[in-house]
Amino acid sequence: MTTSTAPVLVAGVDTSTQSCKVRVTDAATGRLVRFGQAKHPEGTSVNPEAWWQAFLEAAEQAGGLADVEAIAVGGQQHGMVLLDEHGSVIRDALLWNDTRSAPQAAALIRSLGEAPAEGDEPAGDDENAIEARGKQRWVKAVGSSPVASYTLTKVAWVAENEPENAERIAAICLPHDWLSWRIAGYGPVADGEDAHLDALFTDRSDASGTSYFDAAANEYRTDLLDMVLGRHDVVLPKVLAPAEAAAVKADPAIAGGDVEDGCLIAPGGGDNAMASFGLSMSVGDVSVSLGTSGVAAAIAENPVYDLTGAISGFADCTGHFLPLACTINGSRILDAGRHALGVDYDELAELAFASEPGAGGITLIPYFDGERTPNRPDDTARLEGLTLGNTTRENLARAFVEGLLCSQRDCIELVRALGARIDRILLIGGGAKSAAVRRLAPAVFGMDVTLPATDEYVAIGAARQAAWILAVRDDASAQPPAWEISIEGRESADPTPEVYEAYARRRG
């Protein structure tokens, strides 16, 4: 007679911009056991309480978390959550896509750039030299130069525009930090009670997107907070090691109520790092994610410093680094092509396949919404090389697909130029479902492309991290579990370097 042993379960949470997803997972195999999802409100400024309610709803949809032994939260990066001394949220969180702090980002760059040049820094007192010095100094300090997405710029905006709120700040955290803290049972308290702000915790990957954490030295730069707040007596979440469990466990009413020793809480992480972890990426891997935006992210063994500020020098979830380049324009480039030609995705692909590499000499520069990589916020899209002879539906369709892929090739080349090894490219995201993108990507990228199955990789990465801290609890030298990743296929093609060369020449 045989006896069955119930699997050890962990939960991975993805608190993204659009929704909260909860994935209950077999810790040994990575197999999906249960799943729940709930929407977040739209907008770039959101009350964090909506995230909490969405988490509770998603957890309930997933059958509850009473039998879960560890949990981790992956979340949208950069969002600013401000807490007062009672643990209450001071104002709606400003999310990564809230750009009101662009002037503050520019001012922060200028502030560091005003001092005279040293060594090989750009010399001069003109605005271009000051900006270039400022960017270099920020990159050397925290890995990235400030843009409106980053947390510190949002704190600066509050300090300038809502000084009464700035005075109340007792703690600053990120969306995933705040949700993890709530899962531990903490939240707003009455006068005279301890809000346990010191129980806040985070990880290197998410902290590296704040502009006040140096991932290479693994330390906060509180002097940079001084620049915007005039003080640094605020609580910042403790930065846990990659496989270090939080000092507190989940509230049994929320998770682990049926588990004898309770539910451990893992460090969690930023969404891009969690997705990379969910894909089991390692040094030499690059993911190209085609969603609303495009993101090329590489796993690097050492810190990567792009002194132009084009590459974000983030950390990953394993102790390595995650240099990342982001384009504003992603899969919507294909949508623009479909709308212009009056076709669906399959028909767009058929038209593109009927053309030749280079689209008969037509190049699309796809900066429909301006662009971040390269930094051309006021630019617009344009078609170049049109003649009476080559202006066909087939060539136009091909130009839209090649324009999207060349834009991502720009990101790949930026990462490569900084010394990151690129042995494998993984193509993910909604845009990766396009047959045209799949077939043409290896030709434009100049190397084979691996196609992981469409899945919730942020939630998978969070679940994998939760399983890892369970393993480390029993064996301090344990490595992340080796879960199988479903690969739909690999695409190969003869390289077409002339396509990217024409694009780079016309892009300027």
Q: Can you say how many angstroms the Cα of residue 272 is from the centroid of all Cα atoms in its chain?
A: 3
271 belongs to the catalytic site: yes
Which tokens belong to 32?
Answer: 């999906």
Is 303:208 a contact under the CB 8 Å cutoff? no
- Angle between helix 393-417 and 497-507 (nearest 10): 80
Asked whether the bond before 374 is cis by omega within 30 degrees of 0, the reply is yes
Buried-state track 436-457, b at ≥16 Cβ within 10 A, e below 16: bbbbbbbbbbbbebbbbeebbb
The Cα 292–Cα 337 span in angstroms is: 15
The Cα 94–Cα 49 span in angstroms is: 13
Q: How many CB atoms lie within 10 A of CB 299?
A: 24
Strand partners, 26: 9
Residue ranges of E strands in 148-271:
171-173, 201-203, 213-214, 219-220, 238-240, 264-265, 269-270
Q: How many CA atoms lie within 13 A of 291 on its CB side?
A: 11
The Cα 16–Cα 275 span in angstroms is: 12
* Residue 370 parent element (H or E): none
The string of DSSP codes covering 420-434 is ---SEEEEESGGGG-
Is 136:115 a contact under the CB 8 Å cutoff? no
Residue type, 139: V
Give the long-range contacts of residues 226-232, CB within 8 A, separation 24 or more: 227/108, 227/111, 227/156, 228/104, 228/108, 228/152, 228/155, 228/156, 228/159, 229/155, 229/159, 229/166, 229/169, 230/159
Marked catalytic residue, from 67, 206, 214, 271: 271
The residues near 503 (Cβ < 8 Å, ≥ 6 apart) are 363, 365, 402, 403, 406, 409
Find tokens 């001012």 and name the residue. 107
The Cα 208–Cα 142 span in angstroms is: 7
The Cα 197–Cα 208 span in angstroms is: 20
Is 221:139 a contact under the CB 8 Å cutoff? no
Name the residue among 343, 332, 497 with its Cα closest to residue 406.
497
Angle (CA) 428-434-438 rounded to 5° is 65
What are the residue numbers of the active site? 271
